Amino acid sequence: MSRQTMLMVLGLLAVGVAQAAVLPEEAATRLETEAEAFVQTKGYTSVNVDTLADKKYYSTALFPGLKSNGMFAPDASLDPVTKAVLQLDSRENILPRVRYRISYNMGYLPGMPEAWQSYVEVTRFNLGPAVRADLQASIPPEHLGSAASFGVGPHVSWRFVMAPRMGMLSDIVSASRKVLTNAQATALDCLGVPCLSLEDPTGPGSTWHGVATPSLGEPAFSAHHQGLERPARVAQELLTLAAPEGLEATPYRPETPRMVFVVSMNVSGQEEAVHGLLHNIDVMDDAIASVWTQRFQISGAPGDFSQMFIDRKR
């Protein structure tokens, strides 16, 4: 990636791995400071990034072609959002009814577009207890599944800082983890609905337009389960649709994420389904203020994609 270009081109994922620029010591120090500030906040506990490359993550269950990848890591070309979700899923117990809220930022140091890194927060909410409590009003106890069958586990949040280096498009620079109380989880917003709500967020009340399925090759990771795309794949598809030509880097603004994703698995309704919603908040367009991208899928059927464009107020 040249020093002049200011695009993190998603198309590079198919043809090669970005190489890290050699940065002046001052710039490297500032990036490290930004990374530490992002992960060491709000009750998060730092995680040794060396432990994130263990067999829990690099497993044939997560990467089926692991043993045939040769000299390249199976996640060498993964974008930061997809990798963050996969990392969380490899560290925490798999739960059947969950909601993910993902905030994504990518920015460079002022005056140094080559000095950039990505900041991802991914929070997974366990909706199993809420779904079971809701069903208790209509299903006799003897026909209601056990608490374990709906999923037992905490609400957890991870923060990652990633950068193109070491032969990886998204090498983890820093990481941290936090367990949320039920009260903390209840207070959080997931694109217009409470994060523990059994309703999926729908975005603003404007017109949705159907769009084609994004052109992505077969994923290197395990992307399908029981007729549905896994949350990591849903996030990857949403990101590709929202930024088909890449993300234009801007100076880093810690309090303003570029994108917010909400992905819900088996939360709303009786059918097994996955719903994803992405709000691209920072669109570099004179006429468009933001873009919403949505994906919905029921088990055994292909995903349905749509988008909504919010005009910029003049």
Q: pLDDT digits over 273-286, tens only? A: 999 999 998 887 78
Contact 189, 199 (CB under 8 A): no
Q: Is 55 helix (H, G, I), strand (E, B) or coil?
A: coil
pLDDT digits (tens, 9 = 90+) for 200-242: 999 987 789 999 999 888 899 999 988 999 999 999 999 999 8
Contact 278, 259 (CB under 8 A): yes
pLDDT digits (tens, 9 = 90+) for 89-128: 999 999 999 999 999 998 887 777 777 899 999 999 999 9
- Phi, psi (degrees; rounded to nearest 5) at 8: -95, 95
What pLDDT is recorded for position 149?
82
Helix (H) or strand (E) run with residue 37 in it:
helix 25-39
